[in-house]
Amino acid sequence: MQQLLDGILEGLRLLFTGDAVLWEIIYLSGRISGIALVISAVLGIPFGAFLGLARFRGRRLVQAIVYTGMGLPPVVVGLAVYLLLSRSGILGHLNWSWIPQLFTVPAMIVAQVIIATPLVVGYTMAAVSEVNPDLRIQVRSLGATPLQITLAVLCEARLGIIVALVGGLGSIISEVGAVMMVGGNIEGSTRVLTTAIMLETRRGNLDLAIGLGMVLLLLAFLINFGVTQLQGKGN
């Protein structure tokens, strides 16, 4: 109990005294997950909207693949990206400049995009599917083009889409398996909150580990609080 209290106090001290190492880790975590989320949103929202609105042969199969992707274990994603990007991997051996190298920030972003995108697609699809189908016909009757109909539906489903983004962010900012495998937890370069917590725990620096854990929890709380506020406004 005392250790936990000490950890919390230490965490607060590090946070509010502007500890450079801690803030660097927070900044890097936010940057990696933020960029990964933006890419996932750009890929996932249009695709999720398409799956929610369009009817085509094989749609159920694609949906099943998306749902499977939503439950991808991060460590498996990490392994897959590792195998792809390693020197002897399918992409790594090509040695093209635009292909990210292992143990770099871009490799971590690739892994997080793979984890977050199916979540964004799946939640967006569900949100769009729940929009009253009569509304699409009504909007079309008012003279909307297919793009305008899609935008109207997305606008109606905006709260669900925000939840999709939060779900995606929550999954990547708190995962450890993939970033550890492809990032390597290199100090000052690829060390993020989750890998730092793991390292400090192993080192026996439980105070710092608890402090980092508190920061992670605080971030999760702030994000979710923001969402509930938005939902309150939406209702």
Partner 1 sequence: MAKIYDLQNVKRVYESRTVVDIDTLEIEDGEILAIVGPSGAGKSTLLRLLNFLEYADSGLIRYKGQEVNAQLPLDFRRQVTTVFQRPALLQGSVEENVVYGLRLRGKKNGKGEVLEVITRMGLEKLRRARARTLSGGEAQRVALARAVVVRPAVLLLDEPTANLDPYNISLIEEVVREINRVQKTTIVLVTHNVFQAKRMAHRIALMLSGKIVELSRTQDFFDHPRDPRTRAFANGEMIY
Which residues contact partner 1 (rule: CB under 8 A)? Answer: 132, 134-135, 137-145, 148, 152, 155-156, 234
How many whole angstroms separate alpha carbon 67 and alpha carbon 65?
A: 5
For residues 39 and 151, which CB has a smaller minimum distance to partner 1 in the complex?
Answer: 151
Residue 73: phi, psi to the nearest 5? -70, 125
Whose Cβ is closer to partner 1: residue 38's or residue 142's?
Answer: 142
In the bound complex, what is the minimum distance in angstroms from residue 131's beta carbon to partner 1?
10
163 within 8 A of 152, measured Cβ to Cβ: no
- The type of residue at 77 is V
Of 60 and 233, nearer to partner 1 (C-beta) is 233
Looking at beta carbons only, is 35 or 139 nearer to partner 1? 139
Nearest distance, CB of residue 133 and partner 1, angstroms: 9
Output the smallest distance, CB 159 to partner 1, in A.
Answer: 9
Closer of 3 and 231 to partner 1 (Cβ): 231
Smallest separation, CB 142 to partner 1 (Å): 5
**In the chain, where does DSSP find H-type helix?**
2-16, 20-53, 59-70, 74-85, 105-129, 133-141, 146-156, 158-173, 177-183, 193-203, 206-234
Write b or e for each residue in 13-50: b if 16 or more Cβ atoms lie within 10 A of its Cβ, otherwise e: ebbeeebeebeebbebbeebbebbbebbbeebbebbbb
Nearest distance in Å: CB 233, partner 1? 11
